[in-house]
Amino acid sequence: MSTPRQSRADRRRATEARILDSARELFAEKGFERTTIRAVAAAAGVDPALVMQYFGSKRKLFGQAVQALPTPLPTTDADELVDQLLASLGLKLGGLPEGTLAMMRSMLTDQAAADHVRAALGRQIDSVGAALPDPDHPELRAALVVTALLGVTIGHQLLGLAALREAPADHIAALLRPAIKALAGPSG
């Protein structure tokens, strides 16, 4: 019995997904500046012209490769919020998606990547700020929480700091809990 043939649209989607997967890996490993269209094409097993045909430019390829959706925080209880934030840190320390790593690696050398990260962090800060039960300086408090967690994530994932890499995520979360709770404000 023969296998069903893929439609042209299915083959195109599969090729596009293969290119995006290869781009995520290379951007995460090398950053934006050192990743080339030729390298992405070679990793995906396609011609560089096809990458350009599908995505138009390295910048557009990068933009699609690093897209991520923000996570809403539907609580206004400080203890619950702290639990959610520290749980998300545990997930981040367990490993980040290649697109996120690519964005983080590129944000210091590429203005568009920095703008993308700034916008994503802005959405996270707005979400956390809206969930804070203490009305005193919610945006500043949220920015401090988000950037503290970002710093731990960078130290663990990108810099590979031994103290962070060797500690279990739940131990790091336990040590951070009082600081995050103090920033979140009184429990509801």
Q: How confident is the model over 135-159, as pLDDT tens digits? A: 789 899 999 998 998 888 889 888 8
Q: Please tell me whether residues 134 and 41 are part of one structural domain.
A: no
In a domain, 72, yes or no: no
If you average pLDDT over residues 1-16, what whole number do you get?
79
In a domain, 127, yes or no: yes
What are the Cα distances from residue 152, in Å, to 54, 71, 93? 36, 18, 9
Q: Kindly report the average pLDDT of the chain as a whole number.
A: 82
Question: Is there a single domain that holds both residue 141 and residue 98?
Answer: yes
Helix (H, G, I), strand (E, B) or coil at 126: helix
| Residues in contact with 155: Cβ distance below 8 Å, sequence separation at least 6, in sequence order | 161, 164
Classify each residue of 60-94 as buried b or exposed e, where b means 16 or more C-beta atoms within 10 Å of its C-beta.
ebbebbbeeeeeebeeeebebbbbbbbebbeebbe
Residue 84 and residue 176 share a domain: yes
Distance between CA atoms of residues 178 and 170, nearest Å: 14
Domain range enclosing 57: 8-64
Contacts of 55 (CB under 8 A, 6+ apart): 19, 61, 64
Same domain flag for 60 and 125: no
For the chain, what is the domain count?
Answer: 2
pLDDT of residue 188: 47
**Percent of the chain topping pLDDT 70:** 85
Check residue 94 and give its pLDDT.
Answer: 67
Decide if pLDDT at 69 tops 50: no
Q: Is residue 157 part of a domain?
A: yes
pTM of the model: 0.63
Same domain membership, residue 100 and residue 127: yes
17-31, 39-53, 107-121: which is most confident? 39-53
